[in-house]
Amino acid sequence: MSKLEIRNLKVNAGDERILNGVNLQINPGEIHALMGPNGTGKSTLSETIMGNPLYEIVDGQIWLDGQDITEMSVDERARTAVFLAMQYPMEVAGISNADFIHAALNARNQGQPVAVLPFLKQLKANMEFLEINPEYADRGLNADFSGGEKKRNEILQMMMLRPEMAILDEIDSGLDIDALKIVAKGINAMRSTTFSCLMVTHYQRLLNYVVPDVVHIMMDGRIVKSGGPELATDLEKTGYAELEETLGSETSHGNSLE
């Protein structure tokens, strides 16, 4: 069970201020969508929650179940609760997908190795569920996977590691409609009162399959509007530019829905 609270978060990347005071609360069991134009800071927020050292917190806190996690290392956060499906998952040749996931499970299990046979059984079941070719268990981690295959593999990892708090950064990008449905199926399978999720997306499309409890719009490093699922539908019609105007924002960049 995880409750995420972000208070007045200000973040720099490469000496430039990217997040200008983000406030966000996600309660256990809730799925939130975070939308916004390109370059507005969605990935910066996601990576900062995970603890990516490229992003520097200048002010504010990130609380998880009443604990400030901003001083925690990346792997500590992961072992505690947080999972980030990255916008651009890394390739690591020579480590098999299965070995990697097994190592990650072991790391979360406080030094108790996870029995291999039940693990493989679970892996197989989840791969079937996500319609991933069984051979991909033995392939190098994301090595030479297509964009869509990498995304599906992120969902596989999430399903295997069963985090309490998942951030999915553009998990829908580069997916055709069939793949999108499969990914949505994976996310929906995680849904429970003990699972909370922040889905970063550019498009309304994913939200047709995974209906969020709350939708946030981010612009220029701030959450400028929050509402129910209808907010996303409205946005699809009007586009970010119009929203920006009505909000009287002063941003001068990243105002198109590409």
Q: Which residues bind ligand ADP (CB under 6 A)?
A: 13-14, 16, 18, 36, 38-44, 54
Binding partner of residue 117 among ligand ADP, another protein, Mg ion, none, CB under 5 to 8 Å per kind? none
Q: What binding mask, one character per residue, do residues 129-168 give for another protein by CB under 8 A, x or -?
A: -----------xx---------------x---x-------
User: What DSSP string runs through 94-141?
Assistant: EEEHHHHHHHHHHHHTTT-PPPHHHHHHHHHHHHHHTT--GGGGTSEE
Spatial contact of 23 and 204, defined as CB atoms under 8 Å apart: no
Residues 100-129 that bind another protein (CB under 8 A): 100-101, 103-104, 107-108
Rule CB under 8 A: which of 33-62 touch another protein?
50-53
Write the single-letter amino acid at 250.
E
Per CB under 8 A, 98 contacts another protein: no
Q: Which of residues 158-217 bind another protein (CB under 8 A)?
A: 161
> Exposed, middle or buried by CB within 10 Å (0-12, 13-18, 19+), for 170?
buried
Residue 222 near residue 40, CB atoms below 8 Å: no
Degrees to nearest 5, angle at CA 73 with 72 and 77 = 70
Question: Which 8-state DSSP code applies to residue 175?
Answer: -
Minimum Å distance from CB 258 to Mg ion? 12
Whether the CB-CB separation of 64 and 80 falls below 8 Å is answered with: yes
Q: Which is closer to another protein, CB of 80 or CB of 249?
A: 80
* Residue span binding Mg ion (CB under 5 A) among the ranges 65-73, 83-91, 159-167, 240-248: 83-91
Among the listed ranges 11-19, 70-78, 118-126, 235-243, the one in contact with another protein (CB under 8 A) is 70-78
CB of 84 to Mg ion, least distance (A): 12
Listed residue (169, 150, 18, 208) closest to 82, CA to CA: 169
- The sign one gets for the Cα dihedral 142, 117, 158, 82 is negative
Smallest gap from Cβ 38 to Mg ion, in A, equals 7
Q: Which residues bind another protein (CB under 8 A)?
A: 50-53, 73-75, 78-79, 83-84, 86, 89-90, 92-95, 100-101, 103-104, 107-108, 140-141, 157, 161
